[in-house]
Structures are given as C-alpha cells and as structure tokens.
Amino acid sequence: MDRDVHVPVLLDEWVDALVLDPAGCYVDATFGRGGHSRAILRRLSERGRLLALDRDPEACRVGLELAKQDARFQIRHAPFARLDAELDALGWREVSGVGFDLGVSSPQVDDAARGFSFRRPGPLDMRMDPGAGEPLTRRLRGVSERELTRIIRELGGERFAGRIARAILRAVREGRMESTADLEHVCFHAVPRAARHGAIHPATRTFQALRMWVNDELGQLRDGILAAQRRLRRPGGRLVVIAFHSGEDRLVRDLVDQAVSPCVCPPQLPMCVCGRKPSMRWVRKKPLRPSEAEVMRNPRSRSARMRVAEAVA
C-alpha cells in the first residue's frame, strides 16, 4: 500500500454525526491525510467552511495542497489545544461542529524516521511535531524510575511497568537506548519469559504509553475538548470524537459528562441551588464501534470508539 495513505475510520458515521448544516463552519481538529476533511467538504455547500488543524508538518503539507483546490478549506499547523486562538485569528466566534480522530496516522507510524513503531527500526523520537518539544531519547534522560513506571502503567496499562521502566533507565545510563529497536529489545527482555510470546508484542503497551507522554496527548485532549465545547454554536453545535485508547475515551466521556450534568449540589438537597446549567447533551454516549466488515477491511480500526455530543441553549 502507498506509504502516504491513511484509511479513515468510521468515516460515514463521523461525518453524518458532525455535519448537520451544509452552510456551517466546521473544524477537523486532526487532519492526518484528510480523509475525514474531504468527506466534510463533500457535504458542504458553497457557503460552508472547514478549518483543519494538525501538529504534524507532513499532514499540513497535504492539507495545503487541498486548500489550493478548494477555497472553502484551510489548514493550520497547530496543536488542537490552541483551537481558541486559531478560531480567534479567523474571526470565527462559533462553529457548527468540531471533529476529532485521535492518535497517529498510518503514514506517521509507517515512516521509520519518526520513531513511532518497533516494527521499523529508526531513531527514538515519537514527536508528532518534530519541530516542537524533545524527542523520546532526551525525555528518557530526565525522568525518574518512579515516574516512568507510572507513565507505562497508567498510559499503557502494562502490568510489568516497573520491570520495564527499570530496564529502560539502565539502558539509557549505559548508552543503549537510541533507537526503536533498542527500546523493543529492552521491553522484550524485561518481561518474564512466559509473557514474551503472547497475543501482543511485549513492547506494544510501552510504545503507546511513551508516545502519549512525549506528545502530552491527554493534556492536549483535555484542552482541545474544552475549547471545542466553548466554541460550539448553541444550540445544535456538534462534538464528534473517535478515540483509540481507553484513557482518551474515558477523558472525553468525563469532560462531556461534566458539561451535561454540571450541578455540584449535594444529592440530599431537594433542588439545585448551585445554578449550573447543562451546556451539552449526549447524542451518542454509548460509544459506536466499527462494524466487523470495517475491521476486516482496516484492522487499524479495531479499537476505535466514537462518541457524539451536542451543545444546548
């Protein structure tokens, strides 16, 4: 398959949930290779507008080509935590919908030089924006064993987090932690022999956790979702999120729940006295999963979960 292709996940479901007004202004917060953005543009009338964001310069390069062909579309090289500032710069006070398709794209994972995959030997980088922040090799030089254990356990759900963190930091001290192959090797040998040949490779969870840490993915998600909620048109503006990680999906659920039920009154009070009113309602609280047919066609869709919420007056 072409190295620069990303097969969009839950494409029709995502765009059906997001675009209710063909003349509206929309945001695709995670452009990638633009599969979801192009689907939005197909639904928009001449008056509709789409702003896309991506923190990856390679994604933006593709987006700039699309912008040359379609005057309704523009893209900014920015993390979605900066959504407010990007909308302010355009003079868009409110939008009809903001869509997220979280995680990394296939071209990012498939490019060995980006250092995302243990299946492709490359430098240990993992930044979605190689021009911002520090690569993983450098981050690992400044982290304690305790903190690294927490990261691998909480973000990766890895039960051997302590052993893996200890082994990683030993390799860092000994100058043996420069490439994705080094990290894969250390993870493989850090887990007990009996756990080395299970259903998933012993490095899978650690790679995911370290990628989320290097890119501050949960912090970005919190800021991005809160900004999106502030900027949705009331009533009716839509928030649609596809997550691939249970921690991300939980964070989206909790942030929307807080907007759906913001009341902080003690349950024993007969009526609300805090005065906080709901600003969102769930359209789809129970996450939608891809069909078996989609998972067969595109195995990377396997862990996707989509949630939909709407701004209320």
Largest CA distance in the chain: 64
Binding window for ligand SAM (CB under 6 A); candidates: 32-40, 115-123, 157-165, 206-214: 32-40
User: Which DSSP string do the residues of the chain spell out, in sequence order?
Assistant: --TT----SSHHHHHHHH-S-TTSEEEES--TTSHHHHHHHHH--TT-EEEEEES-HHHHHHHHHHHHH-TTEEEEE--GGGHHHHHHHHT---BSEEEEE-S--HHHHH-GGG---TTS--BS---SSTTSS--HHHHHHT--HHHHHHHHHHHH--TTHHHHHHHHHHHHHTT--SBHHHHHHHHHHHS-GGGTTSSS-TTHHHHHHHHHHHTTHHHHHHHHHHHHHHHB-TTT-EEEEEESSHHHHHHHHHHHHHHHS---S-TTSSS--S-----EEEEEEEEE---HHHHHH-GGGTT-EEEEEEE--
105 binds ligand SAM (CB under 6 A): yes
237 binds ligand SAM (CB under 6 A): no
Nearest to 117 by CA among 247, 303, 248, 300: 300
290 binds ligand SAM (CB under 6 A): no
Least distance in Å: CB of 254 to ligand SAM? 18
Least distance in Å: CB of 105 to ligand SAM? 4
115 binds ligand SAM (CB under 6 A): no
Binding window for ligand SAM (CB under 6 A); candidates: 43-51, 102-110, 250-258, 277-285: 102-110
Q: Which is nearer to ligand SAM, 163 or 238 (CB)?
A: 238
Q: Which is nearer to ligand SAM, 172 or 240 (CB)?
A: 240
Distance CA 273, CA 168 (A): 52
User: Judged by CB under 6 A, how many residues of this single chain contact ligand SAM?
Assistant: 21
The only residue of 48, 63, 79, 290 in contact with ligand SAM, by rule CB under 6 A: 79
The only residue of 55, 153, 253, 307 in contact with ligand SAM, by rule CB under 6 A: 55
Binding-residue pattern over the window 187 to 226 for ligand SAM, x denoting contact by CB under 6 A: ---------------------------------x------
8 binds ligand SAM (CB under 6 A): yes
Binding window for ligand SAM (CB under 6 A); candidates: 47-55, 145-153, 193-201, 280-288: 47-55
The only residue of 10, 51, 59, 241 in contact with ligand SAM, by rule CB under 6 A: 59
179 binds ligand SAM (CB under 6 A): no
63 binds ligand SAM (CB under 6 A): no
- Residues that bind ligand SAM in the complex, under the rule CB under 6 A: 6, 8, 30, 32-36, 53-56, 59, 79-80, 101, 103-105, 128, 220
